Chains A and B, each alone.
Chain A
Amino acid sequence: MNPLEILRFALKGLVANKLRSALTTLGILIGVAAVILLVAVGEGSSQSITQNIQRLGANTLTISSSTTGGGGFPGGGAGRSNSGPRTQARQLTLADAKALTDRAQLPSVTTVSPIVTASSATATFEGASHSIAQLVGTYPSYFEAANKPVAQGQYFVNADVSAARKIVVIGRTVAENLFGAQDPIGKAVTISGVPFTVVGVLKESGSSGMQDADDVAIAPLPAVQQSLTGFGSLSQILVQATSAEAATTAQAEITAVLNQLHGIPATGTADFRILNQATLQETVSAATGTFTVLLGAVAAISLLVGGIGITNIMLVTVTERTREIGIRKAIGAPRGAILGQFLLEATLLSLVGGLSGVAIAVIGAQFTIAGIEPVIVPSSIVLALGVSVGIGLFFGSYPANRAAKLRPIQALRHE
């Protein structure tokens, strides 16, 4: 018989029990929408974290001194005897930074920014006072490497560094606390008793986590050393690689140069540490990936529950209509037609539920959920829809098959 007729019977069967059909559809709808939305939220948060990291620049490497390496470590004993008396890990110096600018030895490195930091430097301006969370003394290349563009005013340049000019670029928080509504450009502030002239204000980067990234001031390296930290060691060296892919190569090149400079043998433990943004990013992506999988699993369970709902409804429907099945068989309905009708009913339920679930998820993904902008993963749509229809077919086939197999008289006698 005509498949269209079977479809007609299936539709009639569903319409005959509107509320039940609607509730079953709702179960699948929630399951499918949950899968798609939760995966989208996971993906969205993962992407936003990745973007946050990328804001630092995926191609940057941060070198800091390590207290565990070098002379303080037994493994470093051989190194000590080779390179003369050394009882402590060597601090990073400007000489180290200079050595890293050698293009011949370090072809993967573009810029090198030595950094000294002074924390909790107190800045005052006309009676207003603010403790700057982080005062950075560095080279102009830092602005690009650390991704801190100036929004207002200007950067300082290499000439300012050579002249150790007392000028400063301040973050938004500092600007607001010291100057309020006034224009800070050109104003003189006193930082730990030393007068600095404000030349620029950084673009607001928004607070990331607990630290206020805008509570910062950046000045030329020698100016900070002269007035605040002294000409000792560096806190960090920020290195920019030619590209994110070259970061690992750059890391190897830096290690080689610094090992040589610090007199550390190939087998020894380095007295410095290199933090690779690319590696960090991979680690974080892996973590957020796990998070997404977890969300997906929770949602998948709700989809499964929806599927059990379909099975249940189909069982009830088939049992309830066993007499009708008997009548249909008695007047010559072939088994395929009966099976087709009930399978189609189950499939329609799950398909309608699944499609509306997709629609709701797509609409829901337009809104920000818990501060995260969901990003829909197309494969999750395909998967959720596929699973929901699969569930309809699989779980619907059991009761349908059972019904279709009955002898007419068995079905007719059913109470």
Chain B
Amino acid sequence: MSHPVLRVENLVKEYGEGDATVRALRGVTLDVEKGDYVAIMGASGSGKSTLMNILGCLDVPSAGRYLIDGVDVGDLGEHQLAVLRNRKIGFVFQSFNLIPRMSALANVELPLTYGGVGSAARRERALAALEQVGLSDRVHHDPNQLSGGQQQRVAVARALVTAPAMLLADEPTGNLDTSSTRDVLDIFDRLSVSGRTIVIITHEDDVAAHAKRVIRLVDGRIIEDRRQSPVDGPPPRTSEADRPQATVVGRPPTTSEADRPLAPVDGSPPRTSEAVL
């Protein structure tokens, strides 16, 4: 049997010491298969970012194991970790985290530079990644000359450019308006269709509705793990990608079909019945 892309076992993360100890994660166990599209939800302070930082090898857990492709990350040295972050993980931050005074192109090239890719190939791949996120006309702009949505798309391009096995995104749409959110989510849907493993954190049900699987955290524990569509299929929203527009246009609310776009109102996503594990 092949290893899951991600496996965490009994992950615990504590901040601080003594009385001031905050237990951000209290034993999280989770497998993510290749090609899955997971949304992590939960109240503020429930430990989502803490979990994500550990998944992205940006932080180390207080206890528990974390395996990527069957390799225990805790056994890796500093340099191997750097290579792992560079090759296998694409991380998108809620706050973009682009390097200031560096053009969009240079920002996207950066992971390739650290990966040792030659300058010509680097440029080509960075331009391709920027085109993928629809920013071909903004490649020479500095981050402070770009809108929030554009900056986030640059950040996504930077995460994609090394063709990592998984894409981790911490509230990638948290700072964006609806149309920018849709741009970014469309990109994620397309990546999911092409077989990339994606984990995103979100507060919004609309965003979570794009995922194949939704995990809910409360106080550092997983309390719900719900599948919305099969791992090897397309993400749930792609097949109906034009539905929001259809709603705007005004589809006659006749059949039972018409209820489906309205279904998210009560917070339960579409296809709930098929997806719950």
Binding site for B on A (CB under 8 A): 1-2, 5, 12, 16, 323-324, 326-337, 407-409, 412
CA distance A333 to B111 in the complex (A): 8
Which chain A positions have C-beta within 8 A of B63?
none
Q: Which residues in B have their C-beta under 8 angstroms from that of A2?
A: 116
Kindly list 20 other residue pairs between chains A and B, CB separation below 8 angstroms, not including A1-B116, A330-B58.
A2-B116, A5-B113, A327-B97, A328-B99, A328-B114, A329-B82, A329-B85, A331-B111, A331-B158, A332-B114, A333-B82, A333-B86, A333-B114, A334-B78, A334-B114, A407-B58, A407-B60, A408-B85, A409-B53, A409-B59
Say yes or no: B101 contacts A332, CB within 8 Å.
no
Is there a chain A Cβ closer than 8 Å to B149's Cβ?
no
Whether the pair A331, B59 counts as a contact (CB closer than 8 A) is no
Q: Which residues, 89 to 139 on B, are CB-close (under 8 Å) to A?
A: 91, 93, 97-102, 110-111, 113-116
Q: Which residues of A contact B158 (CB under 8 A)?
A: 331
Given contacts A330-B56, A332-B115, A334-B114, contact A324 B99 (CB under 8 A): yes
Q: A2-B116, A16-B101, A327-B99 are in contact. Are A332 and B82 (CB under 8 A)?
A: yes
Contact with A along B44-75 (1 / 0, CB 8 A): 00000000010011111000000000000000
Given contacts A1-B116, A327-B97, contact A332 B58 (CB under 8 A): no
A337 contacts which chain B residues (CB < 8 A)? 114
B104 CB to closest chain A CB (Å) equals 14
The interface residues of chain B lying within 8 Å CB-to-CB of A12 are 102
A303 to B214, CA, bound (A): 62
| Interface assignment of B79: CB less than 8 Å from any CB of chain A | yes
Are B58 and A412 in touch, CB under 8 angstroms? yes
Q: Does B26 contact A (CB under 8 A)?
A: no
- Enumerate the 10 nearest inter-chain pairs by beta-carbon distance, A residue then B residue, closest first: A332-B86, A334-B82, A409-B59, A332-B85, A408-B58, A409-B58, A331-B111, A333-B114, A327-B97, A1-B116
Measured in the bound complex, the distance between the Cα atoms of B56 and A12 in whole Å is 28
Q: Does B182 contact A (CB under 8 A)?
A: no
Question: Chain B contact residues (Cβ within 8 angstroms of A): what range?
Answer: 20 to 34
Residue numbers of B with Cβ under 8 A of A are: 53, 56-60, 78-79, 82-87, 91, 93, 97-102, 110-111, 113-116, 158, 162
- Residues in B neighbouring A330, C-beta threshold 8 A: 56, 58, 85, 91, 93, 97
Q: How far is the CB of B4 from chain A (nearest CB, A)?
A: 22
Task: For B86, list chain A residues within 8 Å (CB).
Answer: 331-333
B79 x A334 contact (CB < 8 A) = yes
Report how far A183 CA is from B85 CA in the complex, Å: 95
Residues A331 and B110 in contact, CB atoms below 8 Å apart: yes
> Is the CB–CB distance between B111 and A332 below 8 Å?
yes
Q: How far is the CA of A12 from the CA of B158 in the complex (A)?
A: 20
Query: Are B85 and A331 touching (Cβ within 8 A)?
Result: yes
User: Is A332 within 8 A of B83, CB to CB?
Assistant: yes
A412, B58: Cα distance in complex, Å: 9
The interface residues of chain A lying within 8 Å CB-to-CB of B83 are 332, 334
Can you list 26 A-B pairs with a CB-CB distance of less than 8 A?
A: A1-B116, A16-B101, A323-B97, A324-B99, A326-B97, A328-B99, A328-B114, A329-B58, A329-B82, A330-B91, A330-B93, A331-B86, A331-B91, A331-B114, A331-B158, A332-B84, A332-B111, A332-B115, A333-B86, A334-B79, A334-B82, A335-B79, A337-B114, A407-B58, A408-B57, A408-B85
A324's nearest neighbour on chain B, judged by CB, is B99
- CB-CB nearest in chain A for B84: A332
**Measured CA separation A413–B97 after assembly (Å):** 11
Residues of A within 8 A of B60 (CB): 407
How far, in angstroms, from A219 to B53 measured CA to CA in the complex? 101
For B85, the chain A residues whose CB sits under 8 A away are 329-332, 408
A16 to B101, CA, bound (A): 8
Give A328 to B114 CA distance when docked, in angstroms. 9
Nearest-CB distance from A12 to chain B (Å)? 8
Chain A residues in 8 Å Cβ range of B57: 408
Cα distance A323–B114 in the bound complex, in angstroms: 17
* B97 contact set on A, CB distance < 8 A: 323, 326-327, 330, 412
Chain B residue at minimal CB-CB distance from A404: B78
- Say yes or no: A1 contacts B114, CB within 8 Å: yes
Within the assembled complex, what's the spacing in Å between the Cα atoms of A324 and B110? 12
**B residues within 8 A CB of A335?**
78-79, 82
Smallest CB gap from A5: residue in B: B113
- Which residues of chain A have C-beta atoms less than 8 A from B58's C-beta? 329-330, 407-409, 412
Measured CB to CB, the nearest residue on chain A to B78 is: A335
What is the distance, in angstroms, from A367's C-beta to the closest C-beta of chain B? 42
Return B124 CB to nearest CB of chain A, in Å. 17
The residue on A at minimum CB distance from B101 is A16
Cβ–Cβ < 8 Å partners of B162 in chain A: 332
Please, how many angstroms separate the alpha-carbon atoms of A334 and B114 in the complex? Answer: 7
Bound state CA distance, A336 and B58, in angstroms? 17
User: In the assembled complex, which residues on chain B have CB atoms less than 8 Å from the CB atom of A328?
Assistant: 99, 110, 114
A1 CA / B56 CA spacing, docked (Å): 22
A328 to B86, CA, bound (A): 10
Q: Tell me, in angstroms, the Cα distance from A344 to B102 when the chains sit together.
A: 19
Cα of A242 to Cα of B100 in the assembled complex, Å: 78
Complex Cα spacing A326 to B85, Å: 12
CB of B125 to closest CB in A, whole Å = 14
- Nearest A residue (CB) for B102: A12
Cβ of A326: which chain B residues have Cβ within 8 Å of it?
97
- Inter-chain contacts of B102 with A (CB < 8 A): 12
Contacts of A336 in B (CB 8 A): 79
Cβ of B110: which chain A residues have Cβ within 8 Å of it? 328, 331
- Given the complex, which residues of A lie within 8 Å of B115, measured CB to CB? 1, 332
A332 to B57, CA, bound (A): 10
- A329–B97 Cα distance when bound, in Å, is 12
The CA of A326 and the CA of B53, in the complex, are separated in Å by 12
Q: Which residues of B contact A332 (CB under 8 A)?
A: 82-87, 111, 114-115, 162
